[in-house]
Amino acid sequence: MIEINKSVCVLGGGGSIGSRLVHQLVSNGYSVTVVVRRLQSAVRIGRLKVNIVVMDLLDEPQGNLDKLFHGIDYVIDCSFQTGADTKKVIQQSKEVAQKVLMAANLAGVNRIVHYGTISVYPKDGVTINEQTQCDYSGESYADGKLAAERTFLKADNVTPVTVLQLPIVFGPFMNWTVSIANDMSSSKLIIPDSFYGVCSAVYVDDVVRVSEQALSQEVADNQKLLINGINLSWTNFYQEMAQLSDSFSMEIVTRLEYEQAVKELERNQSPFSRLRTKFAQDGDFRQLVLAQFGFRHVYRLVKQIKGQPGIDKIKTSIADDPDVSRENGNLLPKDRADLFDALPQIDSSLASDTLNFKASNFHQCMQETREWLIWAGYVNH
């Protein structure tokens, strides 16, 4: 542990991971400065004894950042750039990383710890480690992170940089935890019994702990380290989440059943399907269409021969109910299933050896997550 009274500047410290990190650093005796883009972002740390600075790292003059880092021992960068224009995000990410590096070099900062992501690696299901090749993919978040990472890891830094590449992060305030809790509490969530990818997940407090270790451990200059807590199937991860509350509801179906249900849902949600439904349910609209295309006499003929049951059969064959993706439940969105299929298994042995990092017990982390879900009002006792 670094001796008390060391100073840390946390960039983007109002976020889900950053705010948790700030709490722990203050508890451990660090003098903490937190940079947030908007004061509203500091709501979770406002009561702490910290120096809160409102600053947009992209637009702030270099001189102001130089002054901010004066007297700072360590910088932990949780920030990232966002936007729909991927090329712009890449350029902005480079600019921010360059400004941070320049200010840190000038101020004599001992080390920068930057949060990266496994999203920079190919999504082809192979096991990844720090030697796995990665390149820009067209996804703005991942490409922005990769641009920042490459800028931070350039060879001529005065201030050494450690990049911690994070997988799925779960626990209190984490988006993954909140979104799954919402999905399971609003209605029964239907997921397949298998995915092609691996759920590589780490508890948020383990991220905080390994970040602090990265400041004090002997780490090679300008090194990236893959962080991971546990590798398990996505189905098992969802099962663990479902067991946190009786108010959570989930159904597991075969992969084939899930894929068939997805196709049915996509078909029912298509514009043509909605048109067919309106034709079947709206008599005035149906008569207008039949008259427009000259089919009214055919329709009348069917009614004369088969009666109303014949007409009802035609209407039933034309349209299904578009509002039902599966009876009494909602399907896991296909784009999320596609993501889960592509996520790789992580070999985090280098980080474990370098930082002496061992993940906390997964089931204990889930119980702590449950306590937070109760506190936050997502589940009942």
Contact partners, residue 108, CB within 8 Å, separation at least 6: 159
Q: Clarify whether residues 15 and 143 are in a common domain.
A: yes
Is residue 116 assigned to a domain? yes
Domain count, the chain: 2
Low-confidence spans in the chain with pLDDT less than 50: 1-2, 273, 320-326
Q: What pLDDT is recorded for position 248?
A: 92
Is residue 134 assigned to a domain? yes
Query: Which residue, of 284, 300, 318, is where some domain finishes?
Result: 318
Q: Clarify whether residues 20 and 155 are in a common domain.
A: yes
Element (H, E) at 238: helix 234-242
Q: What pLDDT is recorded for position 304?
A: 61
Q: Clarify whether residues 141 and 274 are in a common domain.
A: no
Is residue 209 assigned to a domain? no
- Is the backbone of residue 243 left (phi > 0), alpha (psi -120 to 50) or beta? alpha
Q: Clarify whether residues 29 and 151 are in a common domain.
A: yes
Where do we find the tokens 């993919």? 137
| DSSP β-ladder status, 74-77 and 161-166 | unpaired
Q: Clarify whether residues 153 and 283 are in a common domain.
A: no
Is residue 230 assigned to a domain? no
CATH number of the domain at 69, please: 3.40.50.720
> What residues form DSSP beta bridges with 113?
76, 162
CA distances from 203 to 17, 20, 226, 266, 350 (A): 10, 11, 14, 35, 19
Q: What pLDDT is recorded for position 78?
A: 95
Q: What pLDDT is recorded for position 320?
A: 47
Rounded to two decimals, the pTM is: 0.82
Element (H, E) at 116: strand 111-117
276 lies in which domain range? 270-318
Phi, psi of 293 (to 5 degrees): -105, 5
Could you give the CA distance from residue 256 to residue 143 in angstroms, rounded to a whole number? 34
> What residues form DSSP beta bridges with 378?
none
Is residue 185 assigned to a domain? no
Q: What pLDDT is recorded for position 191?
A: 96
Digit-coded pLDDT (tens) for 211-253: 999 987 777 778 999 999 999 999 999 999 999 999 899 999 9
**Percent composition of the chain: helix, strand, coil (DSSP 3-state, to 5):** 50, 15, 35
Is residue 243 assigned to a domain? no
Is residue 194 assigned to a domain? no
Q: What pLDDT is recorded for position 297?
A: 55
Token pair recorded at residue 100: 């941070």
Determine the residue type at 7: S
Q: What pLDDT is recorded for position 362?
A: 95
Query: Which residue, of 135, 166, 197, is where some domain finishes?
Result: 166
Query: Which residue, of 138, 166, 194, is where some domain finishes?
Result: 166
Q: Clarify whether residues 278 and 158 are in a common domain.
A: no
